[in-house]
Structure 1
């Protein structure tokens, strides 16, 4: 039965083909050039297949990129690149920096390598020498080893004036002092927010980098300029005070005193204190004299700052004369002028900033060093102060 059906199907199919062929050619002349049309059709088919192939490959490549992280192979080319890892930089920050410098091929590759290596959490800030087009794993291996840091360190202690800071930097970097002075003149070229140069004590603002060159040990980039070094120090100041919430705390707790005024007080305490335990108390004395009692500060360190700024030799307190205390030409003479000085008088460290931001409570108006460890005794009245001065003389601290 199945054989009969197959035969019937074959017969019908064969008859159909004959009829279609007959009708197609009835009343028509034989055409020429059929081979040319066939060639064109063949070429079009090839083009179409090629296009489909390219499209398929492009689509595959795009899809593959979603699953395969772009990365270079090996230890990189011969071309070297210095990368600076800043304080607090995340793996993403570092990755983006290295992609921009063509050290690694993609941020994703570096982040994946960092996630897979617990040592990546201990990458230290500093400058590292890497190569272009390194694998992410090879680049990470350089960064996790502190020995690979390019050491070009400078140290600036607390309490140096700006001019003394420039001399210290010059000694360590061999950059001329005049280059630092020239860079510091254009205060607006530094990214210091405008509120730092506002005062609420009625005195005119004198823009200066004094007070903003944070004392610390720094690792500098290779062959830095004076401006680059000062930028690094100013940025550290802004980072430290930002982390401390210095400006917010001062304005909240110090009765409307501007952050710049508190910075001046921090610099005064830094200059006067012989021991860090007394920084906050000396700041309190400054606040009490200036804002509560309308008294002159009478700090010898301010007079000396004015002398240094004028290019004159400074003096020990025992060598200062009545003429020095009465000198109106010295705008930093806090024996003559009431209120705070025109600018900070040095670069205060974090302890001094903390003391000025949140000093201990007290009504003190006087202090004097009473031992060779630099500790001071504080007094509210003249009588108490005179008694403390006797102790200081007995200890051989003052004459």
Structure 2
């Protein structure tokens, strides 16, 4: 029976090692003390090992060396890409459940085509609580990360530097996202959309001869002026024809924008007196396009700006028949007749 004490000692030693190992692994997978939730970004096609490293770097777990083994033991290795909010008291099992659920802790924010910087600030404030003043301050930043930001003219009449470049789309934002992160996300989308349209944002001039800033401005006018996407190229042709003849563009949308950025008031209808409003954006008062975009154009407006329709039209007027389409005319006399018909339909 002399072997009994040695056997018991060996068993106790083994049990001790197992317990120490268990508590050590448990310790490494626990979170350091946190006072607030942490947003973690999981890139597409991330391995479980990579996810563990991300969690360690963001101090969500203490050590990542056992994370992948624990995830495999729990049968939760199908971690999905996305942006997730991890609560300050969340356990390792809770974290794995969040990461494998695919349910991101974000709010869907839709920025509609033609939105101005002021409109976007108000939308963000309403939906995720973004401070409007801080957002608009970021829109006027001077140290942007994108090369095309350096091409944007610096003029006193340009109130919001990144006006027009904040691409309209549906985004997933966190309530904690900073104005800088939001602006960077929207500019990244702008860069991606330009690439798909074969527009090189790193150069100062595009294939059609327009500098990037002029292209964005042209597209913004089309976006705000045209209600029907299949009419945008025709409207673009009218504006180019008027430019060639040194005629003022006389775009109502420019008047609406001019008054909005100066007074905060957004017109629902332009009155005759509004055409006399003094502003470098009012195309009834200035020659050519405004000095900067008057809203955020979508892809269709860019396509129209890049390829205006060739025709002889110099005028257009909304039909006022509920369709959103315009009547296009070559002469001023025919334009007046079309305008009278439209007024009769109101």
Question: How high is the TM-score relative to the length of structure 1?
Answer: 0.62
Match of 2:176 in 1: 223
Q: 1:352 — aligned with what? A: 301
Q: Give the Å deviation of 1:357.
A: 2.7
Post-superposition Cα deviations, 1:219-253, rounded to whole Å, max 9, x if no partner, equal 22352233332232222222222333234799454
Say yes or no: does 1:298 pair with 2:250.
yes
Q: Name the SS for the 1:237 alignment partner.
A: helix
Matches of 2:77 and 2:308, distance apart in 1: 41
CA distance in 1, matches of 2:95, 2:198: 36
Q: 1:335, CA displacement in angstroms?
A: 0.8
1:309 aligns with 2:261: yes
CA shift in 2, pair 1:216/1:353, >3 Å: same
CA RMSD, Structure 1 to Structure 2 (Å):
4.1
Distance 2:323 2:26 in 1: 60
Unaligned stretches of 5+ residues in structure 1: 1-71
* Residues 82 and 385 of structure 1: CA distance in aligned 2, closer, same or farther (over 3 Å): same
Distance 2:204 2:314 in 1: 21
Partner residue of 2:197? 244
Residues 73, 169 of structure 1: alpha-carbon distance in 2 compared, 3 angstrom cutoff:
same
Deviation track 1:10-38 (CA, whole Å, cap 9, x = no partner) reads xxxxxxxxxxxxxxxxxxxxxxxxxxxxx
- Indicate which of 123, 145, 152 corresponds to 1:191: 145
Q: Distance in 2 between matches of 1:285 and 1:250?
A: 25
Give 1:166's aligned residue.
Answer: 121
Q: Are positions 1:343 and 2:292 aligned together?
A: yes
Cα distance in 2 for residues equivalent to 1:274 and 1:74: 61
CA 1:97/1:251 → structure 2, altered by over 3 Å: closer, same or farther? Answer: farther
Q: Deviations over 1:53-109 (max 9, x none)?
A: xxxxxxxxxxxxxxxxxxx999943457532246xx5547x7575574477948xx7
For the Cα contact (< 8 Å) 2:249–2:284, is it kept in 1? yes
Please show how residues 139-150 of structure 1 align to structure 2 within 5 Å: 143=99, 145-147=101-103, 149-150=104-105
Q: Distance in 2 between matches of 1:261 and 1:205?
A: 15
Structure 2 residue ranges without an equivalent (≥5): 1-24
Structure 2: distance between partners of 1:263 and 1:316:
24
Pairing partner for 1:276 from 229, 232, 235 = 229
Post-superposition offset of 1:318: 5.1
CA distance in 1, matches of 2:130, 2:192: 25
The yes-or-no answer on 1:178 pairing with 2:133 is yes
8 Å CA contact 1:73–1:134 kept in 2: the answer is no
Q: TM-score, normalised by structure 2?
A: 0.71
Report how far residue 128 of structure 1 moved.
Answer: 5.5
- After TM superposition, the structure 1 stretch with the greater mean CA deviation from structure 2, 352-361 or 269-278, is 352-361
How far apart are 1:317 and its partner, in Å? Answer: 4.8
SS in 1 for 2:171: strand
More helix as a share of residues: 1
Aligned match of 1:287: 240
* Cα separation, partners in 2 of 1:99 and 1:174, compared to 1, 3 Å: closer
Distance in 2, matches of 1:224 and 1:195, equals 21
Shift of 1:210: 0.7
* Shift in Å, 1:152: 2.6
